[in-house]
Amino acid sequence: MRRFYAPKENFSNEKIVLSLEETRHLRDVLRLRAGEKIRVFDGAGREFLCEIENISKKETSLFIIEETAPDAPESNLDLTLAVALLKGEKFDLVVQKAVELGVCKLVPLNTKRVDVKLKDGDKKQERWQKIALEACKQSGRAKLMQIELPTDLEKFVKTAEGAKILFSERNGESFSAIKAGKKITALVGSEGGWENSEIEFAASNDFQIITLTSRILRAETAAIAVSAILQNNFGDLR
């Protein structure tokens, strides 16, 4: 069944209103009609079975039949993934796969070896949010992954919460050394890796340095692999 998104403010009693963009997709791409049933999620974890009542030029009105369980329940792991900015569409891939793997928050990082210059962080954030929304629709999640504006590593490290882990290509302990509860902040570096000073700064702010042995991974692969491994060990990916 087709899934659509509507923010909580578009809910009123037993009615939901879809936005212009969602209406265009429903009407012009999928060619759905009044009387057909769809599912709508609110981005905060709830999902509903609905019937299309009316499709106008700018919006679609729906009647809520019942609340349903999302196809992909939220993980019991509150995972924040902070990843150094990557060139081209590599960060787009990280956004998409982070949603699929149940990451709660994604933070783009400026690090010393980042080779990306963002002219407009707001526009990039908007693009990533659209990618995350589409991934949410396709993966069955009902809760939108939060995507922060790009921030400097030092600023982020000082405010990180939960079990704090920096994944490095060198100078780290094995994965088995991680001791974590249900809230984790994980850092993954750029294509050029970390400067020694960055690793030392993170360690001085209670970050555990972990090195994944036996494999040399591209930065985007490392971000995806780290998310999957953490969900397998501390979350609900079994």
Q: Over the stretch 127-167, which tens digit does the pLDDT of each residue have?
A: 999 999 999 999 999 999 999 999 999 999 999 999 999 99
By three-state DSSP, how is residue 149 classified? coil
Pair 137, 209 in one domain: yes
Per the domain annotation, does 40 fall within a domain? Answer: yes
Instruction: Convert the pLDDT of each residue in 43-65 to its tens digit.
Output: 999 999 999 999 999 999 999 99
Containing structural domain, residue 15: 3-68
State how far Cα 86 lies from the chain centre: 16
Return the residue matching tokens 């397998």: 232
Predicted confidence pLDDT, tens digits, the chain (238 residues): 899 999 999 999 899 999 999 999 999 999 999 999 999 999 999 999 999 999 999 999 999 999 999 999 999 999 999 999 998 899 999 999 999 999 999 999 999 999 888 778 889 999 999 999 999 999 999 999 999 999 999 999 999 999 999 999 888 999 889 988 999 999 999 988 999 999 999 999 999 999 987 778 899 999 999 999 999 999 999 8
Residues 208 and 143 in one domain: yes
Give how far Cα 184 sits from Cα of 15, 27, 148, 193, 206, Å.
Answer: 37, 41, 16, 21, 13
Tokens of 155: 């600023």
Which two structure tokens, joined as six digits, stand for 97? Answer: 């796969």
Looking up tokens 């928050």 gives 105
Residue 73 is assigned to a structural domain of this protein:
no
Same domain, 130 and 193: yes
Q: What is this structure's pTM?
A: 0.93
Paired sense of beta strands 15-18 and 60-68, if any: antiparallel
Of residues 181, 171, 179, the one with CA closest to residue 212: 171
Beta-strand ranges (E) seen in 1-140 are 3-5, 11-12, 15-18, 37-41, 47-55, 60-68, 78-84, 105-110
